[in-house]
Structure 1
Amino acid sequence: MTDSDTTTPPNRAVIRQHRGPSVVWLLPLLAAIIAGWLVYKSYTESGIMISVVFDSAEGLEAGKTRVMYKGLPAGEIRQLTLNEDLQSITALIEMNINTEDMLTDNTLFWLVKPQVSLSGVSGLETLISGYYIGIQPAEGESKRSFTALTSPPPPERDEQGLYITLYTDSARSIQTGSPVYFRNIEAGRVIEYSLSPSGEEVLIDVYIQPEFTAWVTERSRFWNASGIEIDSNLPDFSVRVGSLMSILTGGIHFDSPAFGTPKAAVNGDRFPLYPDLESSRDDLAYQPAGFEGISFRLRADSLGSIQSGSPILFKGIKVGQVTGYQLNTSDHSVTIYASLRQRYSSLVKRDSRFWNVSGIRSSFNLQSGFSFETDGLKPLISGGIAFDTTDGSSAQAGQIFTLFNSEAESLSNTLAITLEFPPGPSLLAGSQIRFRNQPVGEIVSVELSGSDGSLFARALLFEQGFFLARQGTRFWIETPQIGLSGIQNPTGLVFGNHVSVAPGLGENSQTHFVALTEAPVFQPQPGLNLVLTAPSLGSLNQNSKLFYRGISVGKVIGFQLSREGHRVEIYVNISPRYQHLITQSTQFRNIGGIRASASLFKGVDIDAPSIEALLSGGIEIEIPYEDAPATEGLHFPLQPASRQ
């Protein structure tokens, strides 16, 4: 056996069949996945198409002009189309996908381009980068079609600071961007102005920078400081010139009096815009810098030469000044508002006396001849007020004093009293106190003393009224009353209510009184005062006349129910010139109304008194025979009307 015979035969190749998919098919699958991802990415990252209508295509260019929001691109114009009206352009804009929430029916678009005005230059960056479209988003419903504004909208109020509104009759030279100054430092700007819905006011929206918001309070005063102001209020003469910017573009100044603890202003607060500095200081609630001491009021018959800024003098030294004044329409008096410097506040006491030192005071008598005096040039021209003080308690802020015409008049003898009035008619400081319709005193101040409307008043009795300051004296507020018999207290219709007084019989003096709720029923008057009793009042009322032989000899002065309530007590007064006619047998008969009788033989008989008695009632007096004279307070029955 040879070696070739013993060689092992070669192995055979084994062929196995692959039963899975071929790897070659992974390539198309991977390509499909990549294509789907690209489609999804293209869909999710594609912009939102909107249309915006512009008046003109000036500055707009497809593929170049962008929409910018806070300096960041938010979209780009893709196509410009001339509209069918041939007056406007529609821009097809692709907005970034993340701006979808910004596209609402309240969103605003406008074209930003360079603008040059006296208040400054805006849109300067467009000189290099070209025009762009501004957007101001706002909440609302989703929208895709818009109309661009022809001018930029007011800036958004998203800056830190204070946003307030000023109102005035005229904007004068104020415009958007005009500066707002505090102590000549720019503190803010005007962001917008417009007419009020009624068209009667100009509303100016103002932005105050954060570092100045603490200086804007409820007492802040704003005034227009545009241009040049000349004040020739003799003896002073002043010229105020604003900054060049305020002269060219208009400007607003403000200050905030520091007295008290005023509330800080908040967004949306409204303030008046005064035409100038002086007008802002005429406000009655204003206290100029340096006069943050006590504030008080003076009541005078007329203003005279006193004006805002007139000095308040103590021993010839200026310690305060007049800050304002107003006319009281109720009694035609004048209320003058004044403030003192803080260091002089303690000089004003509750019983301080104030008098007018304006003008020239002169006197003449046979012994000393003619003399005149004045308190200096400034009080002579601009008015002035002097006062003297005592060691009494300090005055309260807002207290009302009487302003006398001269120092001599202020030294007239008076007596201070206090009155408590129950809820009822109104009463003003300066109202007179009258006894038998003659002034015997004056109400100095009135304060609300309770939630029910009760009043506490301080008053002065003149020397002729000192006898009223005793026990039993009664005070009440007299109001005008209109009735068929006439008008009671007619002067009250013009000058307001006054205080009436009836003297008491007490021997001890008294300076504090609790007033009556209404006038007392029985007030004895000069003449003969009697009491008539009747089952009912009938047509009688206050001031009904008493007639004797057709002549008025007295009147009804009051009435009330008797103590048991079964009869009416009618108080009458017989005039002094006729009181001797009344005797103890005098008869009183009611003649009010119309009396009629009828019979078969005499027919109808109608008896009517005078028109006056018919309207307001009346009493007829009959004196059947001579008798002893009637005495004060005597009672008589009131007979019913006679029947024929």
Structure 2
Amino acid sequence: MENDLEKVVVYQPKLDKKNRASFIWVLPLIVLGILVWIAYESYSKKGTNIVVYFKSAEGLKENVTPLEYKGLQLGKVTKITMHDDLKSVSVNILVNSDAEKYVANEGSKFWIKKPTVSLTKISGLSTLISGYKIELAPTFTTPEELSKVKPKWYFEGLDFQPDDEFDENGYYITLLSNDKDNVDIGTPIFYNKYQIGEIVAKEFKDEQLFVVSHIYDKYRYLVNKSSKFVMNEALKVNYGAGGLNIEVGSFYSALIGGITVITSQKQGDEISKDEVQILYAQKDDLKDKHYFNIDFYEATIDNHTPILFKGIEIGKITSIKLNKDILETKAFVYENYKYLLTKNSRFFVEEPTISFGGIKNLGNIIKGNFISLDYKEGEFSDKFMAVNKKELNKSLSTIKIDLIVDSLNSITERSKIYYKSIEVGRVDSYSLTNDYKNVKISILIDEKYKNLIHDKTLFYDMSSKLVQMKNLNLDINYSGMEGIFNGSIGILSTTNDKNKLTKKEFKLYSKYEDVVRLKRMENSGFTVFTEFDNSFKLAKDMAVIYKNQEIGFVKDIKFDDRLSKVELFIYEDYRKFIINSSRFYKKSAIDVKASLSGVDLSIDTFSSLIDGSIYLDNSSKTPLGNHEIYASEDDMNSTTNSVLIIFDDVEGIQENFSKLTYKGVNIGKVKKVSLNKNRQVEVEAIIYNDFSSFAKKGTMFYLKKPRISFQEISNVGATIMGVNIGVIKGEGDFKRVFTGFDKEPSIRHSHLGTVFKVEDLTASSVSVDSPVYYKNVQIGKVLKVDLSTDGSRVVIDCLIDNKYTKLIRKNSQFYDISGFEMEFSIFSGAKVESNTFTSIIKGGLVVVTPYEYNEIAQENDIFILNKTLREDWKTISPSIK
């Protein structure tokens, strides 16, 4: 055990010396240093607070809306409150410290930048996302000027961009506008309907609106000191002799408005920015005017009452004042009508006339009376005394004659004298004859119609009896409501140098038929023997008409149970119009035609108001044996001018209503629709004129059914009045029976143009009737969209108008411009491109022919449709001959 204790070894501990300072105490010092640096940086860059007073805070947001100068952010809105005056708002802006000296000084101006979105341009679109911006407009331009300006922290905000922000070298013109509603920032300025500038600023001073227009640099040569600025008139309303007249400008002007520049002299000095030009409200304001005076004893007129001459407005009343019993007015006429102001000219007021014949001068009832002018040559004068219209009529040169009649009936001093429904005179007075048995009516015939009055002139009462029944014959005397209730006298006369006026008294006959019979007896002529089948009624004395002129009458009728014989007496002057192919038909007294435009009611002559008239037709070239009178024009045409068209189905076709149309012109109508033994529909149609040119092999007939969709409305009348039949002319031999098509057939060539085929792998937005453009001018349309025979491609038939086919060359390219393209970026805004409004709705194609164009394309050439329009297409402009 002792040995074990001897072996134990004890070591002495080793002591190391350590530093008294530890790294753990250094870390808080570093953190403290960083905090001090941050505090210093925050204090040094805190910036300066300014206050700007705006009329409205619309679009501004706290801690969002920036203060910018040329795209560089200089600060931010921190607070928006009501101003002490309760009429504006206080906007606090924290300006960056490094920009303080540029912003917080008395030379700074502030305005709110808003987005501009219109049909002509889109600018500032990024503000729609980030909100409005406050823009800085400093007045200093050099560091020396900056060092001289004094500090400032409170500012009055501007309503619009200040003038000094505009380009120094830009062409800016100040306009004075009286119309404060139609001028706004972005309003376009046009020259010959092409935009050359826009309105960039406006300011209201001294109750007047001043606007600043910017003319684009490349068009500044078009505007000089001779230029006039006029507001576009999208809607123009006039009141004149014709009543209310509304004129609507282009759809583009109606939406945008705009200003038009009219430059009279191409060479002239530019307009300085300090010069103020007048912005005229309408083109009439540019016309030179001559002012003169008109005095009235009494008149219902006011300022702006128009002065009309022969229905044309030649001037206006500008001011009115009452001087004792005289109404003194100042007026003007346009300079080119100054010659009308002569000592012999007389002014009078036209007032509305309401009678059974209708309402005359309806515009007067709506707007007021107008002033008319009776012009006569003479020395110039600018002072006039107006006259009463009744006195004017009585003072005209007239011929006075007397009419003798058994009874006055409805004749009054207001009754008028008519020749062929034209007023040629008036009743002056009436009295009993010396023997008290008759009435003597004195009438006045205007000097210019004196040749109508001679010894063989016949006068008849147009109002004595409206309806008379005698011997079962109904006699209707109709001359219009005014003639019936106010009384009127008709004249039957011819102008002949051999006839002289020696009589002073004439007999006034009671009805038109009496004078017609007397007049007919004076004519020499010959007899034409005709016949009719008794299916309709003919009567003696019925008029024979050719091209709306009476050429004879029915002299006699010899009845027979099979065919009745009719003798027509034709006046000698019209012998040459009766030929071996002449045909006759009875025309109804009242002809009613209905369409989408309304109902057209035409009434034949007085002599045939009940029984109708016999019309002569010489349109046929086929010689006839005996002359025949047909029951109607359709029956007459059915014998020679009818074709038979066979369809599988004719839903919507209506007899006597459905029309045959060629190039939009009505050339015939459907007479009969029936089924044949093969259960096909046979349509018998009449062609009115030029029958032989349509009844040819190759002529195509197709149904024009209505198409109503979001893209288009076509042939909408067919939904109401019946489906029409379209016609495409052929060039073959004579043919009368045709096979009809259910829709317009696709053809290579027609009277409208040439069809070119454009192929694509898939269908686009292009549809039937979509436009085809060349340089934004429509040169054709899409006729058909269909699959190829093997179904691998889509084939588009493009019908190009004849006058544009030379533009289509073998290397021409077709592009799809349907819809619109839009590029969008948060930083750069958005860009929207569209060729036309039509291309957005209906789709469309554009053709581009390169400068190195090949030979003219043929009908069998096939083109490939390109989906993306090349960027340089507008600059490609070859001269194609």
TM-score > 0.5 by shorter chain: no
TM-score normalised by L of structure 1: 0.38
The structure, 1 or 2, with the larger RCO (C-alpha pairs under 8 Å, 6+ apart) is 1
TM-score normalised by L of structure 2: 0.28
